[in-house]
Structures are given as C-alpha cells and as structure tokens.
Structure 1
Amino acid sequence: MGSGINYADLVGMNSTAAALTFAVGYLPLFGWFFWQSFGQPTYVFVILALFSASEFKPHHDESLADSWVDSAGESLELIITDQVLFGVGFFGLLYSAYTLVLDRWLLIDSHKSRGGPISRLIQNRRVFRVLLLAAVALGIAAAVQIQSNPRQASSLRIASTSIFLVLTVLTTHQTLLLAHAELDSNRENVAPHPPSLGRDYGAYILCFIALLLLVREGFTTATVKNLAKQYNERLWYPLYALPEILAVYLYAAPGLAPPRSELPA
C-alpha cells in the first residue's frame, strides 16, 4: 500500500455549514453534562462532558480547514489530530454506554440472570477498559505512522477498529439483555417512583443508543481501508457524525443515569 493519499483532499470538506452545525450542536451538550457532573456526579456525566468537548474541536477544525490548510503537511497533522481525538472520544462514548448498562443492572434484583459465561466475562469492567485502551493505543499508533509507514498504519487501524466493533457488538448484546430484564422487573416492581423519561423508558433509549453506535462503528469498519471514502462528507456526516451526536443527546434523557446514591455499595 503506497502513500498516494492526498491529505489536503481528506480534510477539505466542502460543507462548512454542516461542520459548524455539528460543532454548535455539541456546545449545549457540553454545558449540560458539565453542569450535571457537579449536581449529580457520576462517571457517565463527566466522560460525556469531556466527549462533547473533544468532538467540538474536530468539527470546528473541519469547518475552518479550507481557510488555513495550505500544505499536505498541515493537512496530515490535522488528520492525525482528528484520528486521535475521534478514537479517544469513542472510548468515552462506548464506555459510557457500557457503564450505564452495568449500573442499571445493579438496580435489578441480583438473583436475575445476567446471561452465560461470556456475558459475565464482558461485565468485568477492568477487562472491558483494558480492551478499550488497547483499541485507543492501536489507533494512536496508526495515526502517528500514517505517513512514515502506511502499510503498518493500515494494519494497526484495522486492529483498533476491529476491537471497537467487537466491544460495540458485545455492549449491544448486554443492552438487549438489560432491556429484557428491566421490562420483567417493571412488571414485578409496583413500588411508586417519580416519573422520568430515562427511568421509565431507559430500556428503549439504551437500545436506540446501541443501534446508533453500531451504525457509527459499522461505517468505520466498512471504510477502514479507505480513508478517502471514510472522510467523504456525504457518508461521514450521516453515518458517523450524526449517530454520535444523536447518541449523546439521548444520554441526556433525565433519569437514564442512576444516581450513585441508588446504586448498591
């Protein structure tokens, strides 16, 4: 695989308005999750505030790319920065979904089944974090070597994307198990509680979030060997950027993230 990539073309997205729209769309999300991090401190709110902040810069950069990128070298630096930020950002987005699923499991009767041995293994938070960190590390290594060793960079990018995809599928599987368990628990639990969109319809919201993450990661996997296609704005915005921002807005549903005070010690 040669280095015949026109890096200026990759970052030269023409839809400046679309990039600015997404950048502005993340601003209220950052403010909301940042505020919630103080009022109801949970990992999910903190990491989503950081995710929203990390996503603002790449979209902002895309909206300004045509005005300041004058050379392939500067374009390459922007590509590397975006690849690193998107990888680190998706770590936070996926781990938030995973954390929410496990936290909501803790609110269900502990005697309920959580699936077979594979499900119980993937519910080990430490194992999941290690795998996510490995995916991020491989992605960063791929971004750094994108020009000096394109073949190696491609292999590392494929490995990173594959890990992210597998973890996304496993998280979706856990989400479906949780949705089934929550529906059963709601039928059995008649104790009153304050009405809340996230509490009452959390199972459906989490399933929708999982579907959005699958769309995003499916697109990334399908285009992992072709950065030019991956950065094609006609594909990138609807299949990558849109699922991400919709998922983050769904995370903001009141009551979706259980307070720490409700979680068993």
Structure 2
Amino acid sequence: MSSPINYASAFGFHSVAGAIFFAVIYIPLFLWFVWQSFKNAAYVYIVMTLFCAMRVTAFIIRALLANSTTLGQNLGLLIADEILFSVGFSFLLYPAYILGLDREITSGAEPVEFWLVKLIRNRRLFRWFLAIGTALGIAGINLATDSDPSNVAIGLDLREAGSIVFLFLTVVQSVQTFIFLGEHIESGYSNDSRPFGDRHGNYILCAISMLLIVREIFNVATIKDQSKQNNEHLWFPLLALPEWLAVVCYAAPGLVPSRSALKMAAETGVNSRVII
C-alpha cells in the first residue's frame, strides 16, 4: 500500500516562518485599508482591503500546509491556496489601473483622443481580459493537480495562458501610467501642503507598475518549470515581496482620490468621462 502524497511538500511549501512572516506584515496594511475604506469608501481602498484579507488567509493556509504532514496531504486545501494566490493578483492589478485613470480625471486634463490611448484606457475591456486571465488560471490550477498526465499538461498550458494575459495587462497598466506621467511631468503636484501620496502620486504609481512587472515576469518565466517557480528562495523575494511592497505604496496618504473629488471633477465638465 502506497503512502499518502504530501502535496504541499511536492509543491515546495517548506518555510513555515516565511509564510507566517508575510501573513503578519499584511495585517497592519489590512487594518489601514479597512480604516481608509470607512473614511473615504474609495473603490481602490475597498479592493485593497479584500486583497490583504486574501493574502493573510493564503499565507496562513500555506503555513499550515508546510507545518502539518496531515494537512499537506489535503489536495483540496492546496488548490484553494493556489487559487487565492492566483486570483488575488487581479485584486492588486486592477486598482493600479483604476487609480491611474482616477488621478487623470482629478487632474483636470483633457481626454486623449488618440485611438490607442483610448483603447488602453477602456475600463470595460480591461475587466474582460482580467476575467479571462482569472478563469484560465483557476481552470489551469484545477487541471494541473489532476492525477491524469494529459490533464496536467492541459492545466499547465492554461496556467501559462492565464499568466501571459496577466503579464499583458500589467504592461498595459504600466504603459498608461507612464503616458500619464509624461503628460503631467510638470503638472504641479509640488504644493508642499498636499499629502505625500498626492504630491508624488505619479511616481508612486510607476513604482507599483515596476513591482507588478517584476512579479509577473518571474511568474511567466517559471510557469513551465514548477520546481523553479515553487523554489521558496525565489518565490518569496520575486513574487511575494514585490506584491507586499506594492501594497505599501497603495497606502501612501493622499494617493487615492476621494469619491467627492472624482464626482466634482466629472461634474465640472473638464473631464467628463464616466467613472465605472
């Protein structure tokens, strides 16, 4: 009789301390975004609250899987943890995209009419691709953990496709951030009385973009080599750490425009794009 498989160990879940460490350092950020959500109720703060909750949960599960041989044999728990990490990235990427567009609205800038820029800044289209990438990732994770080798191969292909979609969207988000930075490089966010995040928001958004690109390049580059992707000496500094640093950037005071500021900007007619 064959012994039960420790799936967590096979997937490279070994560091209990690393998982606990990241769960702990996400908790203050979760509390910060909960507070900000009550103060501002901005979309970005609400989504970041959900993202932090998902990461705390995922890292706790990861710590339990790494610490317990019995739990490590629970394939369903492993799949749930993998899905939380995969789906959770969309909760980190989409706020960066929305934040860039919202800051453009409150800047009072005239909408750019060039067709490619308008396409990049189409929120509905971005959400469709985000949903496709998420669906591919979930399907891929489920099939990649199947006992049938043919399903495993299909699952890896689906995961790769989902990761490529996310990388493409991350590049799109970065491009629209740098376009906005180029338009407003001397736009006057230099008033020292403004909060730090408002004065330096464009550069903070660029930092978020770079961190997300590092995360996604590592994810795509190692998607076909699970031993390398699951190597915790690479996974923690190249995937987990960039995500956390990006969340820290989101917490900069004044970075996220308030709902009232967005509403006022839309009502002035200077920038009347629909905020959805």
Query: Normalising to structure 1: TM-score of the pair?
Result: 0.90
Matches within 5 A, 1:171-182: 171-182=173-184
Q: Which consecutive residues of structure 1, in runs of 5 or more, have no partner in the other structure?
A: none
Matched-pair contact (CA < 8 Å) for 1:10–1:231 = no
Matched-pair contact (CA < 8 Å) for 1:224–1:230 = yes
Distance 2:137 2:221 in 1: 16
Match of 1:250 in 2: 249
Matched-pair contact (CA < 8 Å) for 1:11–1:78 = no
1:16 partnered with 2:32? no
Distance apart, 1:12 and its partner CA: 4.8
Match of 2:69 in 1: 69
| Identical-pair percentage | 44
- Of residues 147-156 and 242-251 in structure 1, the stretch that sits farther from structure 2 once superposed is 147-156
Distance 1:96 1:28 in 2: 19
Match of 1:131 in 2: 129
**Cα deviation digits, residues 186-217 of structure 1 (max 9, x gap):** 18xx8x68321111111111111100000000
Matched-pair contact (CA < 8 Å) for 1:134–1:160 = yes
Matched-pair contact (CA < 8 Å) for 2:6–2:73 = no
Distance 1:243 1:8 in 2: 23
Matched-pair contact (CA < 8 Å) for 2:48–2:91 = yes
Distance apart, 1:118 and its partner CA: 2.1
Distance 1:227 1:54 in 2: 23
Assess, with a 3 A threshold, how the Cα gap between structure 1 residues 65 and 11 changes in structure 2: closer, same or farther: farther
Matches within 5 A, 1:1-265: 7-70=7-70, 73-74=73-74, 76-111=75-110, 113=112, 116-146=114-144, 147=146, 148=148, 149-186=151-188, 194-263=193-262, 264-265=265-266
Distance apart, 1:66 and its partner CA: 3.1
Query: Normalising to structure 2: TM-score of the pair?
Result: 0.86
Assess, with a 3 A threshold, how the Cα gap between structure 1 residues 14 and 67 changes in structure 2: closer, same or farther: closer
Distance 2:94 2:123 in 1: 9
Distance 1:238 1:193 in 2: 34
Aligned residues: 256
Matched-pair contact (CA < 8 Å) for 1:91–1:136 = yes
Distance 1:47 1:126 in 2: 17
**Cα deviation digits, residues 150-180 of structure 1 (max 9, x gap):** 0110111011001000000110111111122
Matched-pair contact (CA < 8 Å) for 2:192–2:199 = no
Assess, with a 3 A threshold, how the Cα gap between structure 1 residues 71 and 36 changes in structure 2: closer, same or farther: closer
Assess, with a 3 A threshold, how the Cα gap between structure 1 residues 71 and 50 changes in structure 2: closer, same or farther: closer
Matched-pair contact (CA < 8 Å) for 1:44–1:257 = yes
Distance apart, 1:229 and its partner CA: 1.6
SS at match of 1:224: coil
**Cα deviation digits, residues 108-167 of structure 1 (max 9, x gap):** 2332647x4222112111110111011001111111112141011011101100100000
Distance apart, 1:230 and its partner CA: 1.1
**Cα deviation digits, residues 5-30 of structure 1 (max 9, x gap):** 97332445332222111000110111
Distance 2:179 2:54 in 1: 31
Matched-pair contact (CA < 8 Å) for 1:216–1:240 = yes
Distance 2:30 2:93 in 1: 17
Amino acid at match of 1:177: I
Distance 1:87 1:248 in 2: 16
Q: Which consecutive residues of structure 2, in runs of 5 or more, have no partner in the other structure?
A: 267-276
Matched-pair contact (CA < 8 Å) for 1:11–1:62 = no
Amino acid at match of 2:165: I
Distance 2:102 2:221 in 1: 32
